[in-house]
Structure 1
């Protein structure tokens, strides 16, 4: 009986899959809608001043960041599904996770990219300062730690 309960408990991972897929889909839709609205506004109310272009570049970086987070959620969902529910599912290579370690490595790569994008957003917003330098160093340390952890 305990064995059946343990084997059946893998389907609890289905909650993670469903919720994470919904979060991913909502984030993709929200970000896509917001990006289209900003692009439409930019085209219809074109202001070639430096400040408007500067603000647009910050918005675009935010959209890229949100898309990467949505992709990370999608990778979590499909990886969890393959690892716990159906290991024989045919997935595109980018989503084909063969082990928990591969899933973690994919997430570390995405987290690194998200951190870099966040730093770029700050670098574009702020003038060079000690605070920006400290933030950049902190992000670099985290990424180096990620890389070191991946090698071991």
Structure 2
């Protein structure tokens, strides 16, 4: 009896699967609407200047950042579903999750991309007054540590 209960308890993971899936879809839809509104506002303003282009570019980079976060949440949703509910889900090879290490590796890879986009956003918006080199060095350390984690994680396999 306990064996049956424990075997069935894995289905409780449907709660975080659905939650992360819905969260990912909400982020994607919201940011798509925000990007569309930004595009319409830019056209409506009709301002063509270096500053206007820079503002629009920062908006696009910020949208990419949110989309990447949504992708990370989606990968978590798919990974949890594959690990706990159905491991026969047809997925591309790079998205297949066979254990928790695979899920962590996929997530860390997306986090590295998010951090790179975050730094790009700061560079594009940089006005020359802040210490962007220190920010970049900090980001480089974090990305380096995450890359080291990925390398060590892959070496163990």
Written as runs of structure 1 = structure 2, the 5 A alignment for 1:3-152 is 3-128=3-128, 131-152=131-152
Q: Name stretches of at least 5 consecutive residues in structure 1 with no aligned partner.
A: none
Looking at structure 2, the residues matched to 100 and 106 of structure 1 have their Cα atoms a distance apart, in angstroms, of: 10
C-alpha root-mean-square deviation of aligned residues, in Å?
1.5
Tell which deviates more after alignment, 138-147 or 17-26.
138-147
Q: CA 1:131–1:3 in 2, change beyond 3 Å: closer, same or farther?
A: farther
Structure 2 alignment gaps of length 5 or more: 153-157
Cα deviation for residue 77 of structure 1 reads 0.4
How far does residue 119 in structure 1 lie from its aligned partner after superposition? 1.1
Deviation at 1:40, TM superposition (A): 1.7
Q: TM-score, normalised by structure 1?
A: 0.92
- How far apart, in 1, do the equivalents of 2:80 and 2:67 lie? 20
Deviates more, 1:102-111 or 1:5-14: 5-14
Moved over 6 A (4+): none
